[in-house]
Chain A
Amino acid sequence: MVELLEALARGLGRGSIYALLALGFVIIFKATRVVSFAQPAFMLAGTVMVTYFIGTLGFWGALVAATALTALLALGVERAAVRPMVGKPPFVVAIITLGVDVAVRVVVNGYIGNDVRPMHDPWGLKAFDIGGITVQQRHVVIFVTAAIIVAALFAFFRYSRMGLAMRAASYDQEAALAQGVSVGAVFAVSWAMAGGLAAVAGTFAAAGESVDHLMWLTALVALPVIILGGLDSLAGAVVGGLIVGIVFEVTALYQKDMPWLGGNVSVISPYVVMLLVLLVRPYGLFGTREVERV
């Protein structure tokens, strides 16, 4: 029981990271109807920037700086590679973001070098002891940070002028344009937000560990998350992220009892959950059912 509760705590920490990543995907999808495969590259870029800044700026300073710079990078990518493709089929744009991802990651990998880059965050692997249950500090910090960010995002979409514009544009681009919403600005803000979210998520994913060339695979777990929650649902991204995080850690806990599945089965558990959910609900848990005309 203690083990299970500890796994749940770890799962919530991990799930918060996935939720932040998934929010980035969903924000881009809602604005542009495109799944951006460039998110892994942004995540890696932001995380590597933090490892370079952390010596001079401290952890939070480095995080803010890296988030801002990654948002700028995402803005540039959107302007250069994605904006020319407005009106093209979503799949084509998705493949373009895949190309962006490959190109950006090569440059970032150059900055990682042949070794791993240690994170040197303030928490490391230190842990609290709550009534006999060991909870790692980094998981608490990421959960709280994610909660604050999610609350701020929802408030932004609900109350700010830009948030309203973004909701309008995601509902009907042409109608929004006719009402004076700058759809271009909506695209830019969406990409910048997604880039920033990826940087934050990546930094916390690497907290207590180090950054290496394979870290981008973490960001791909956000794909089963958004499918699980529904491609166009912000709440779905958060709930899906937490579910996938918990499933991941619980599978990791019990996989020694199921040796026939092979080691590291937790790594593919998100994809299995995704397949099972899609068999029952083809549009995810909270996704809007597509209405199609011939």
Chain B
Amino acid sequence: MIGRPLLHTDYAKDMALHNTFSKKLVFWLIVLAGLALPQILQDTELHLLSIGCIAAIGAIGLGLVTGYAGQVSLGHAFFLGVGAFTSAFVSGDPAGRVYGLGITNLVVWLPVAGLVAMLAGVIVAPLATRLRGLYLALVTLGLVFIGQHIFNEWAKMTGGGGVGRSAATLDLFGYSLSKADSIGTPEQKIFWLAFLLLLIFAIAARNLTRSGVGRAFTAIRDRDIAAGVIGVSLPKYKTIAFAISSFYAGCAGALLYALIGHIEPGAFSLVLSVEYIAMVLIGGPGTISGAIAGAFFITLLPRLTRDIQPLIPFISTAPDEMPNIYQVQTILYGVLIIGFLIFEPRGLVGIWFRIRSYWKNWPFSY
């Protein structure tokens, strides 16, 4: 059906994962690029991209609950923290300074981290399902503060505030990903792992959104009372949304800190939650590809500002002078959120939509 990409001759084709030829093409191009990148890029850049992949998993999770189900959650940092500490607990040394079980296999600690975070999400959900809109946002904000207190004070588990503990080890059935060998450098191997996991999580999320559950989410987002009237059980689907989102957050938290190597309880603050909200909003709420694009954008932003710094002479790199690079970075962050919401509410994906419809309607593109 080349030339008529929107003509679907049966229901299965309409609902397919890649419902147009170009989507399929782009997907496989991205897969190819992901396989080839480690051979082209430097290790430091690969490390940054791996973090981007993992952040994208977390952003997809938040995108499901905020972008699809419309439940604004500022508590994402809490779930990331639960995942990170659970994985560190499972993989930690039993004889060490902090609790640990000594099971270093990624195949074990990753799902456990996700499931524990999911449990936390289910526990919070009854409160969340009673509330709507701003009340919910503010309550999940409280969750972040309470979580931070627990992370800071439960020193036997988390290492305590300001100290922290070492994160989970990247170990696959006894094969260590963080040592160089004949297959590649640690960065190359970690990138392949992160990329593979991102593919799995993204496809799973995309799959979910085209199922009945996903349609229930969008119905709740668009008008929750109307959704309730037509028979979508609000408590049930809001709980499912929170559970899945927390599962994604838990896995992302565990992997993120396994890549960085050390967990500090202070990291799971409101700032982290806002960062993830920014990923979803800048990328494009209510789309999986948007969450991924936003996650990469926010992760690469510090690097970009450092690269353009030499071009703008009045910004200094010294941290004690007034318009310095760190301040510009933070301000840019705030300004980008505002700018995207005012001028392009559909986010980075929205820019693509605009370009696409321009060419689709050409020469009548107005």
On A, residues with C-beta under 8 Å from B are 35, 81, 84-85, 88, 90-92, 94-96, 98-103, 106-107, 109-110, 114, 220, 223-224, 226-227, 231, 261-265, 267-268, 271-272, 274-275, 278-279, 282-283, 290, 292-294
Q: Hey, which chain B residues are within 8 Å of A35, CB to CB? A: 134, 137-138
Chain A positions within 8 Å of B150 at CB level: 262
Top-5 shortest CB links A-B:
A262-B153, A271-B142, A103-B334, A102-B334, A99-B337
Determine the chain B residues whose CB is within 8 A of the CB of A231 once the complex forms: 134-135
How distant is the Cα of A101 from the Cα of B338 in the complex, in angstroms?
A: 11
Which of B163-171, B222-230, B294-302 touches A? B222-230
Please tell me which one of the listed residues A103, A226, A278 contacts residue B130 in the complex, with CB atoms under 8 A apart. Answer: A278
Complex: A267 Cα to B281 Cα, angstroms = 30
**In the complex, which residues of chain A have a beta carbon less than 8 angstroms from the beta carbon of B338?**
81, 96, 99-100, 103
**Complex interface: chain A residues within 8 A of B336 (CB):** 99
Chain B interface SS verdict (over half):
helix
Within 8 Å by CB of A100, from B139, B327, B334, lies B334
A96 touches B335 (CB 8 A): no
Cα–Cα distance between A279 and B336 once the two chains are bound (Å): 36
Which residues from chain A contact B72 at a C-beta distance below 8 Å?
A: 91
Contact in complex: B274, A98 (CB < 8 Å): yes
In contact, B334 and A91 (Cβ under 8 angstroms): no
Cα A272 to Cα B281 in complex, Å, equals: 29
Q: Decide if B127 is an interface residue (CB 8 Å cutoff).
A: yes
- 0/1 string, B298-331, CB within 8 A of A gives 1: 0000000000000000000000101000010011
Q: Determine whether B345 belongs to the interface, using a CB cutoff of 8 Å to chain A.
A: yes
Q: Is A275 a contact of B342 with CB atoms below 8 Å?
A: no
A110 and B321 CA atoms in complex are apart in Å by 8
9 cross-chain CB contacts under 8 A: A84-B342, A91-B133, A92-B341, A98-B274, A102-B330, A224-B142, A226-B138, A227-B138, A267-B149
B131, A282: Cβ atoms under 8 Å? yes
Pair A278/B225 contact, Cβ less than 8 Å: no
Q: Is the CB of B334 within 8 A of A99?
A: yes
Decide if A263 touches B153 in the complex (CB within 8 Å): yes
Q: Is B146 engaged at the interface, CB distance under 8 Å to the other chain? A: yes
CB–CB A271/B146 < 8 A: yes
The answer on a CB contact under 8 Å between B130 and A282 is yes
Contact mask for chain B residues 148-159; partner A; CB cutoff 8 A; 1 contact, 0 none: 011011100000
* B237: A residues at CB distance < 8 A: none
Q: When chains A and B are docked, how far (Å) is the Cα of A220 from the Cα of B144?
A: 12
Tell me if B223 and A262 are in contact (CB < 8 A): no
**Cβ of B111 to closest chain A Cβ, rounded Å:** 29
Residues on the B chain within 8 Å of A91, using CB: 72, 133-134, 137
Q: How far is the CB of B338 from chain A (nearest CB, A)?
A: 4
Contact call A95/B127, Cβ cutoff below 8 A: no
**CB of B59 within 8 Å of the partner chain:** no
**Contact call A268/B149, Cβ cutoff below 8 A:** yes
A262 touches B322 (CB 8 A): no
Given A85-B342, A227-B135, A268-B145, A101 and B334 contact (CB-CB distance below 8 Å):
yes
**Contact (Cβ within 8 A) A90 B345:** no
B141 within 8 A of A: yes
Please, how many angstroms separate the alpha-carbon atoms of A90 and B135 in the complex? 12
Question: Complex: how many Å from CA A96 to CA B274?
Answer: 11
Residues of A within 8 A of B337 (CB): 95-96, 98-99, 102
B243 shortest CB reach to chain A, Å: 19
- A220: chain B residues at CB < 8 Å are 141, 145, 270
- Is B122 an interface residue when CB atoms closer than 8 A count as contact? no
Q: Give min CB distance, A241 to chain B, whole Å.
A: 15
